[in-house]
Amino acid sequence: MCRLFGLTAGHARVLAAFWLLDAPDSLVRQSRENPDGTGLGWFDEQGRPHVEKQPLAADHDPAFATEAHARHSATFVAHVRKATGTPIAPRNTHPFTLDGRIFAHNGVIGDLPRLERHLGHDMSLVRGDTDSERLFALVTREIRRAEGDVGAGIRAALAWIAAELPVVSANAVLAEPGRLWAWRHPAAHELWVLDRAADGARLDHRSSLGTRVTSDHLADTPSVVVASERLDDGPWQPLEPGDLLAVGTDLRLERTALLPGGS
Which residues neighbour 140 within 8 Å (Cβ) at sequence distance 6 or greater? 98, 99, 101, 122, 125, 153
Give the least confident one: 82-96, 113-127, 149-163: 82-96
Q: Which pLDDT value is given to residue 219?
A: 66
- For residue 24, what pLDDT band results from cuts at 50, 70 and 90? confident
Range of the domain at 75: 3-96+169-262
Q: Which pLDDT value is given to residue 199?
A: 56
- For residue 225, what pLDDT band results from cuts at 50, 70 and 90? very high
CA distance linking residue 47 with residue 11, whole number of Å: 11
User: How large is the average pLDDT for residues 72-93?
Assistant: 94
Identify any residues that bridge with 204 across adjacent strands, giving them in sequence order: 214
Q: What is the pLDDT of residues 27-49, one digit of tens each?
A: 999 999 989 999 999 999 999 99
- Name the amino acid, one letter, at 232: D
CATH of the domain at 234: 3.60.20.10
pTM summary value? 0.92
Q: What is the pLDDT of residues 186-224, one digit of tens each?
A: 999 999 999 987 655 445 544 444 443 445 567 678 999
Domain assignment present for residue 20? The answer is yes
Which residues neighbour 213 within 8 Å (Cβ) at sequence distance 6 or greater? 18, 22, 204, 205, 206, 207
Domain assignment present for residue 141? The answer is no
Q: Which pLDDT value is given to residue 198?
A: 62
- Assess contact for 251 and 221: CB atoms under 8 A: no
Q: How many domains does the chain have?
A: 1
Instruction: Give the number of residues written for the chain.
Output: 263
Domain assignment present for residue 35? The answer is yes
